[in-house]
Copies of this chain bind each other. A is one copy, B any other.
Amino acid sequence: MRPSSARRRRIIGWGFEGESFPPSPQLVALLERRVGRGAPFPAADPASLQPPPPQRLPELPVTASAEPADRLAHARGQGLPDVLRMRTGSLPAWPDAVCRPADADEVEALLDACSREQVRVIPWGGGTSVTGGVNPAPGAGPVLTLDLAALSGLRAVDPVSRLATFGAGATGPEVEAALAEHGLTLGHFPQSWELSTVGGWVVTRSSGQESLGYGRIDDLVSGLEAVAPAGRLSLPAQPGSAAGPDLRRLLLGSEGRFGVVTSVTLRVRPRPAVTTVEAALMHTWADGLEAARDLVQGGARLTMTRLSDAAETEVAMAIGLADTFAAPLVRAYLRLRGLGPDSCLLLYGAAGEPVDADAELASARWVIGRHRGIHLGRRPGRHWLSDRFRHPYLRDALLDGGYLTDTLETAATWSGLDALRDGVTAAITGAAARASERAAVLCHVSHPYQDGASLYFTFFLTATGDLDRDVARWAEVKRAATAAIVAHRGTISHHHGVGRWHAPWLPAELGEDAVELLGAAARHLDPRGILNPGVLFDPTDQLEE
Listed in ascending order, the chain A residues whose CB lies under 8 Å from chain B are 158, 160-163, 204-207, 211, 216, 218, 222, 228, 230-247, 249-255, 258, 267, 269, 293, 297, 299, 301, 411-416, 447, 449-454, 489, 491-498, 502, 506, 509-514, 516-518, 520-521, 524-525, 536-537
Contact = CB atoms under 8 A, between A and B. Distances in A.
A524 B521 CA distance: 9
A228 to B, nearest CB: 8
B413 A239 contact: yes
A514 B216 contact: no
A244 B536 contact: yes
B238 A411 contact: yes
17 contacts: A160-B415, A161-B451, A163-B451, A231-B516, A232-B511, A232-B513, A233-B513, A238-B411, A238-B412, A238-B491, A242-B495, A243-B506, A245-B251, A246-B249, A267-B451, A517-B524, A520-B520
Closest 8 CB pairs between A and B? A231-B513, A239-B452, A249-B249, A520-B524, A239-B449, A161-B413, A205-B242, A241-B491
A489 B234 CA distance: 13
Q: Which of A247, A293, A489 has the most CB of B within 10 A?
A: A247
Given A240-B449, A242-B204, A267-B451, A233 B161 contact: no
Name the residue among A161, A415, A451 with the largest chain B CB count within 10 angstroms.
Answer: A451
A520 B517 contact: no
A244 B518 contact: yes
A237 B449 CA distance: 12
Nearest to A163: B451
Given A247-B514, A253-B245, A510-B247, A161 B206 contact: no
B252 A245 contact: yes
Contact of A496 (B233, B242, B454, B518): B242
B411 A239 contact: yes
A450 B494 contact: no
A204 B246 CA distance: 11
A489 B223 CA distance: 12
B413 A158 contact: yes
A254 B218 CA distance: 19
A231 B516 CA distance: 10
Nearest to A297: B162
Contacts of A206: 242
Nearest to A204: B242
Contacts of A516: 230-231, 524
A382 to B, nearest CB: 25
B242 A451 contact: no
Contact of A207 (B158, B240, B254, B454): B240
A243 B414 contact: no
Contacts of A496: 242
Contacts of A205: 241-242, 246
A230 B520 CA distance: 12
A79 to B, nearest CB: 15
B241 A493 contact: yes
Contacts of A450: 162, 239, 267, 269
A267 B216 CA distance: 17
Contacts of A449: 239-240
Nearest to A240: B411
A155 B537 CA distance: 32
A218 to B, nearest CB: 7
Given A158-B413, A207-B240, A239-B453, 7 more contacts: A207-B242, A228-B513, A239-B413, A244-B498, A245-B250, A245-B254, A299-B301
B493 A243 contact: yes
Contacts of A299: 301
A151 B256 CA distance: 38
A521 B510 contact: no
A414 B494 CA distance: 32
A209 B511 CA distance: 35
Contact of A233 (B251, B411, B498, B511): B511
A233 B238 CA distance: 28
Contacts of A520: 520-521, 524
Contacts of A204: 242
A37 B498 CA distance: 64
A538 to B, nearest CB: 12
A252 B246 contact: yes
A258 B245 CA distance: 10
A128 B446 CA distance: 41
Contacts of A510: 233-236, 243-244, 247
Contacts of A241: 205, 411, 491, 493-494
